Amino acid sequence: MAEQNESHFGEVEVWPITRLQANPRNYRQHPEQQILVLRASLRRHGQQKPVVVQPDGTILCGHGVVAAAQAEGWTDIAVKVYNGGDAQSYLLDDNESSRLAVDDEQILARLLQ
């Protein structure tokens, strides 16, 4: 098993949501329907994964969650700061790897019943 390089990340921190800024190079869009689903999830479950940011507050992963939290009136949000080398490469890896997931239709159907 490959060892995870935790040295690129700090501990989970709570930052004022106003400290975060959208990444101008983020090419993923978050339509209103997705924001509504994320808002409902935040209300039911809270924030389950920290937003990944650069030290200056630029978001690498979690733009949709931040938009949903803002819409819910949150003032603070959990983040992990990425201190690795190529932040844009991290953004690409995260976005593109998520596209490769496929649904198991039988399991999904059971969950939706």
pLDDT one-digit tens code per residue, 3-38: 455 578 889 999 999 999 999 988 889 999 999 999
Whole-angstrom Cα distance, residue 83 to residue 65? 21
- The CATH number of residue 64's host domain is 3.90.1530.10
Q: Is residue 2 part of a domain?
A: no
SS3 (DSSP) at 93: helix
Give the total number of structural domains in the chain.
1
* 28 belongs to a structural domain: yes
- Contact call for residues 63 and 26 (beta carbons, < 8 A): yes
pLDDT in tens, 45-92: 999 999 999 999 999 999 999 999 999 999 999 999 998 777 777 777
pLDDT of residue 1: 40
- Is the confidence at residue 2, as pLDDT, over 50? no
Indicate the length of the chain as a whole number.
Answer: 113
In a domain, 1, yes or no: no
Q: Which domain holds residue 85?
A: 9-112
Identify the helix (H) or strand (E) that includes residue 79: strand 76-81
Q: Which residue has the tokens 């939706």?
A: 112
**Dihedral over Cα of 108, 29, 66, 68: its sign:** negative
pLDDT in the model for residue 3: 47
